[in-house]
Structure 1
Amino acid sequence: MKRSRRGNFWVTGARVTHNGKSYQKGPMYVAWESPEHITQPYPVVLVHGGTLQGTEWLDTPDGRPGWAQRFVEAGFVVFRVDRPGHGRSPYHPDIMGPVGPAFSYERAREVYFPEGGGETQWPFEPDDEAAFDAFIAAYGPMPADLAASQTLDADRLAELLDRIGKAIIVTHSASGPSGWLVADRRPDLVAGIVAVEPMGPVFGHTPGIGSLDWGLTAAPLTFDPPRKTPEQVRTAEPSTLKIPGLQGVPVALLTGETSAFASYASSIVPFLRNAGANIQHLDLPALGIHGNGHGLIYERNSDSAFKVVAQWLEKSLSMPDPA
């Protein structure tokens, strides 16, 4: 690894009043790292999944470098956020609203290596309890109101782009909607979106988290012609659901072989195509990469999955070869 520089800052939240005193609502922690020689024209913003924090992009559970380092090695400036109410981004229910349920060991097993799911790339043995303890330690609750949480995500990410300029947004799992929403807010500042195993399906419901009432999101999206309610979106002819903020935006939808989230691509891809995005489904088994589940960004072959993304960025955004 060549030398790099790193630091951190917060994207601040709004001042709100509670019981006659002022508080800050929903700041967003941002860690950044820059290679000694920046070779890529756009920075990368890594947005973690639900109930997790930005650490999921760092080392893998078996001790290898994660995608954050791989992007830096490829010449990108990397910004790694803790979504509002997660990780280092402070949360108090009096200010942010009710907290959602805790993340259980049982739910983790359902998501990452379900029984009979065919997962072969998980980075530690499923019966390794100490490794499982270390993995679960990063998880916390998230805001109970999914639409409000996504709105905060998108607002803070938009403010981050105002500060750093045009960037590539990389999401995972429950942060997938945040990518669509920040493009809705700052279409000129989103160079492309890589959605890794995004939350779905279209209009789907995730137990303990919430529903995507606006199709791809729980928070409102801007359609043309306008749709004022989720019901208007749900009942519209799909081909009419254009999203101006996604028009022509290069989008990669990355899915593994064994994850239930991979099945959501069958509804997400046509929705994005109708919306106007330049969407490509990067289906790992179709590319000869097998055995991956929902945690493919830190599974045993995470570097192979990263290479697929790097090649897509090179081709779709006309970027220098990161190799």
Structure 2
Amino acid sequence: MMKKEFVRCLGALTLVLATTISVSAQQKQKALTIVQQGSFAIGGTLKTEPGNFELDHALKAQGQTFHGDHAYVFYQNPVKARQYPLVFLHGAGQSKKTWETTPDGREGFQNLFLRRRFSVYLLDQPRRGEAGKSTVAATISPIPDEQFWFTQFRIGNYPDYFPNVQFPKDAVSLEQFYRQMTPNTGAYDPIVVTDAVSKLFDKIEAGILITHSQGGGPGWLTAIKNEKVKAVVAYEPYSGFVFPAGELPKPIKSTGLFGELKASVIPLSDFIKLTRIPIVIYYGDHIAKEPSKVWNMDHWRSGLEMARIWVATINKHGGNATVVHLPEIGIHGNTHFLFADLNNVEVADVLSSWLRKNNLD
């Protein structure tokens, strides 16, 4: 057998073995029973071009409409659902896929919490994924950058994995992870995102909002805008922290590639709304404890530090907010995608305990 053919066969065998392992693991799960599932668009805007539509000139814009900037929602309702559904909002460069099957084929939070009798609503935010119909133009450039994201998301310092990392180290899983990334089809706009997410809460009447990374900022804004958000759970938010006037902290410097971290000011009357619901923020491992020249670890140090200041400010005003740094409670090795890591069942158990403690289950 020629060398190229051998390598090709070996690669195919690796894929088959990885797939077989994943399928076998899934077969051991008990059957899921749901009473309803479906999908729909929510929110968005409508543009209408002046003039009258002419059948003989149907390719002309005049008199025609354009629906865009909505969110896409996929939902599942289990038998004997708990009191509040869970609404999942992804982070930057991601879609609802981030909550679905993990890169190595295990169940993600979608199924883990469906099995725990929570209705689940998975969002593609406006201008992303299956909600890609944007009202503003964008240029999508195929720039190679995946090794940057490997490092930024604390899987390791490429090409090295962190020694105890909870990310699968096989090539198939890493490829699946890279392929789940998806671009914006229009400029990222937290207000557009918030409007759509708020419309979803109007539709379902009440729920718990679970966000990841860049979704943190729209998460706070949605909770401020809509009292039907009964709690906010945020996994590794970095930007979007809001403070009342006169209490804005100084920017936090970092050796991370995005520079210093700044918060923004909102009216006290809006900030107080965040004190009326339980809020919890989770961070994973390999975050610097003090300023470091290792840029990815230092980047997330500034985020964790800002989160602690933010939580302290909420609690000073009578709120119920908590930051949980998983290594401090004995859970080690988690990446930026801690809800999809190898120990995601343990991570889910931590969230379940918090929901129970706050009478949200």
Which TM class, normalised by the smaller chain length?
A: 0.7 to 0.9
1:25 aligns with 2:65: no
The structure-2 alpha-carbon separation of the partners of 1:209 and 1:249, relative to structure 1 and needing over 3 Å to count, comes to farther
Question: What is the total number of aligned residue pairs between the two structures?
Answer: 290
1:152 aligns with 2:192: yes
AA matched with 1:179: G
The structure-2 alpha-carbon separation of the partners of 1:266 and 1:253, relative to structure 1 and needing over 3 Å to count, comes to same
The range that moved more, 305-314 or 199-208, is: 199-208
The range that moved more, 306-315 or 255-264, is: 255-264
Whole-angstrom distance in 1 between the partners of 2:33 and 2:240: 41
Query: Is contact 1:82–1:88 with CA below 8 Å preserved after alignment?
Result: yes
The structure-2 alpha-carbon separation of the partners of 1:223 and 1:101, relative to structure 1 and needing over 3 Å to count, comes to farther
The structure-2 alpha-carbon separation of the partners of 1:210 and 1:245, relative to structure 1 and needing over 3 Å to count, comes to farther
The range that moved more, 28-37 or 99-108, is: 99-108
CA shift digits 1:176-195 (9 cap, x unpaired): 11110101211x21111110
Aligned with 1:135: secondary structure? helix
The range that moved more, 102-111 or 172-181, is: 102-111
Q: Give the corresponding residue for 2:312.
A: 273
The structure-2 alpha-carbon separation of the partners of 1:212 and 1:24, relative to structure 1 and needing over 3 Å to count, comes to farther
Give 1:143 deviation, angstroms: 5.9
% identical aligned pairs: 23
Q: Give the corresponding residue for 1:54.
A: 96
TM-score (norm 2): 0.72
RMSD of aligned alpha carbons: 2.9
Unpaired runs of 5+ residues, structure 1, are 216-220, 226-241
1:124 aligns with 2:175: no
Whole-angstrom distance in 1 between the partners of 2:111 and 2:257: 32
Whole-angstrom distance in 2 between the partners of 1:210 and 1:12: 34
AA matched with 2:202: D
AA matched with 2:37: R
Whole-angstrom distance in 2 between the partners of 1:75 and 1:210: 42
The structure-2 alpha-carbon separation of the partners of 1:266 and 1:293, relative to structure 1 and needing over 3 Å to count, comes to same
Q: Give the corresponding residue for 2:8.
A: none
Give 1:283 deviation, angstroms: 1.5
The structure-2 alpha-carbon separation of the partners of 1:100 and 1:167, relative to structure 1 and needing over 3 Å to count, comes to farther
Of the two, which has the highest radius of gyration?
A: 2
Give 1:59 deviation, angstroms: 1.0
The structure-2 alpha-carbon separation of the partners of 1:142 and 1:106, relative to structure 1 and needing over 3 Å to count, comes to same
1:106-117 mapped onto 2 (5 Å cutoff): 106-112=147-153, 113-115=155-157
Aligned with 1:159: secondary structure? helix
Whole-angstrom distance in 1 between the partners of 2:311 and 2:141: 30
Q: Give the corresponding residue for 2:239.
A: 200
From 307, 311, 318, the equivalent of 2:353 is 311
1:243-262 mapped onto 2 (5 Å cutoff): 243-259=271-287, 260=297, 261=300
Give 1:255 deviation, angstroms: 0.7
From 220, 226, 232, the equivalent of 1:180 is 220
The structure-2 alpha-carbon separation of the partners of 1:189 and 1:100, relative to structure 1 and needing over 3 Å to count, comes to farther
CA shift digits 1:101-138 (9 cap, x unpaired): 6672122211232317736234321xx44432222112
Whole-angstrom distance in 2 between the partners of 1:171 and 1:136: 20
Query: Is contact 1:255–1:262 with CA below 8 Å preserved after alignment?
Result: no
Query: Is contact 2:125–2:193 with CA below 8 Å preserved after alignment?
Result: yes
Give 1:211 deviation, angstroms: 9.3
Whole-angstrom distance in 1 between the partners of 2:138 and 2:240: 25
1:189 aligns with 2:228: yes
Q: Give the corresponding residue for 2:146.
A: 105
AA matched with 1:141: P
AA matched with 1:265: L
